Chain A
């Protein structure tokens, strides 16, 4: 006597297994869609930029003549912007994270600040642009200078740094702190000499990721009023400036007038993507090389 009728099982299972196989392939296909788009996008951008990226393109100033136009202004503008955003976000982000992780008592204030930060992360970037326009550009009359743009960007990417720094600080095991207290160190000495050095790789990774977000961000800067054709190079944080994403934006919308602007936009995108790729590689390198596992 047979307890299992294998023919019967086969009959029942056949269609279900077929469905499973079919679904698996559909899921794989869906996953590949993202990949295909990525490849097409990068291919298109590179194809459009061929012949447009050369030494002159990197070192020339802006020009209405597509043959002469270069992105030196946008590159220096981006660098100056980062010189504002990096220290400001590092200071504010790490300060906030230390407070939340080490000093704040679990309670209303701490959870209020925490909720507030996660809400800020969800605010559209263009709203930050309006904040920057109202407070920094017009409120304290800075004008559309690097400092105003940098402070706006800093507030925008602050949640990224805070969350990354918090995670890094939280990952430092308690016994390291206790050992430090045991040696007679005070709380601040412990944070300064034990916690922060151990959390540094995680914090730096977060800061670099935040900076790469700031480098690619366009919307807040369109709002604070940066001219489409700014020829002089910025010499400091009090000068007017433009950045790569904005240059891409203006060239893309003006491509209806001068077709070659589309190539200039593509060429700038290639440079921007290379910069972002480099920054992310550095972040990954720091994470893998210096991150200690406790």
Chain B
């Protein structure tokens, strides 16, 4: 039986139509099979990047440990990469890194947590709608700008209180780094606290608790995994931060704990050495990768810990 369609007085046969479309369909099938493979290829770029980082760091680090013994690198308190009798102890850099990160977290943890509590528990919608974008702006400012701020404003300001403070010191970049991390700690902690169901708050309020008691005894304990994870991610961010410490902390490689002195972090060392055109193949050049490897491992461990905490101790409601 034949049918006619609309005004076109044309006889159409379904089987003919299918046959006619076969040619384009086969091309379509080809594309349909090719696309997932091409996309998989693109997706593997991210894996290749990780592999690239690990292989690059590892091969050059191995070269480095042929020149400098492993134990000497991790226990050496003297870092003197240039000149004769060069010594490659990483402890001064580790001290600089952990002291600056420590100062940053002393600033970022309490302020970040209190900000999160205020935004999540106390602030009205109107206030929150104003404050959150402000924090996002603070988070979006490039680190180089914070570095400039640390060197040209915070250090002179601190020097008026602490005259012994050197023009480049670890205290000022530490504080500024903490301020940079506040938005991160605040927004991650706030996310964790916001996901605590209201029924729990209402239960505590009904028993006569004040808002502070509700926050401190109900909301914070319930959200603790997310809060702690935000602290750990903050530490990881501080360890990997480069420009603030490079600009404001100078390049003294002393092993010490005096925060008024100039100290170098692992990241600042990498910037200094690459800026000085280290000849490829020299121990100095390889030391770059050994330090970067140490940095990479530390931040990776921090990130894994953060993920573990937020997965393992998450309370489901």
List the interface of chain A (C-beta within 8 A of B).
13, 16-17, 19-20, 23-24, 26-28, 30-31, 33-35, 37-38, 40-41, 44-45, 48, 91-92, 95-96, 98-100, 103-104, 112-113, 116-120, 122-131, 133-135, 138, 155, 158-159, 162, 186-189, 212, 215-219, 222-225, 245, 248-249, 252-253, 255, 262, 265-266, 269, 272-273, 276, 280
Q: Which residue of A lies closest to B45 (CB)?
A: A92
Contact of B118 among A30, A122, A133, A212 (CB under 8 A): A30
Q: DSSP class of A's interface residues: helix, strand, loop or mixed?
A: helix
Contact yes or no, B295 A127, CB < 8 A: yes
Which stretch (B36-44, B80-88, B193-201) binds chain A? B36-44
Known A122-B299, A138-B280: A23·B148 in contact at CB below 8 Å: no
- Is B207's beta carbon under 8 Å from chain A? no
Contact of A37 among B179, B210, B213, B275 (CB under 8 A): B179
Contact with A along B302-317 (1 / 0, CB 8 A): 1100010000000000
Which stretch (B6-14, B149-157, B158-166) binds chain A? B149-157
Contact yes or no, A19 B49, CB < 8 A: no
- Is B277's beta carbon under 8 Å from chain A? yes
Q: Which residues from chain A contact B288 at a C-beta distance below 8 Å? A: 130
Q: DSSP class of B's interface residues: helix, strand, loop or mixed?
A: helix
Contact yes or no, B292 A127, CB < 8 A: yes
Contact of B36 among A99, A218, A219 (CB under 8 A): A99
- The minimal Cβ–Cβ distance linking A128 to chain B, given in whole angstroms, is 8
Known A34-B115, A135-B52, A252-B148: A188·B35 in contact at CB below 8 Å: yes
Q: Which residues from chain B contact A222 at a C-beta distance below 8 Å? A: 242, 246, 271, 274-275
Number of B residues, CB within 8 Å of A: 82
A119–B143 Cα distance when bound, in Å, is: 21
A224–B275 Cα distance when bound, in Å, is: 9
Q: Which residues from chain A contact B210 at a C-beta distance below 8 Å? A: 13, 16-17, 19-20
A143–B213 Cα distance when bound, in Å, is: 60
Contact of A99 among B39, B53, B289 (CB under 8 A): B39
List the interface of chain B (C-beta within 8 A of A).
28, 31-32, 35-36, 38-40, 42-47, 49-50, 52-53, 56-57, 60, 110-111, 114-115, 117-119, 122-123, 131, 134-135, 137-138, 140-149, 151-153, 179, 182-183, 186, 210-213, 233, 236, 239-243, 246-247, 267, 270-271, 274-275, 277, 280, 288-289, 292, 295-296, 299-300, 302-303, 307
Contact yes or no, A126 B114, CB < 8 A: no
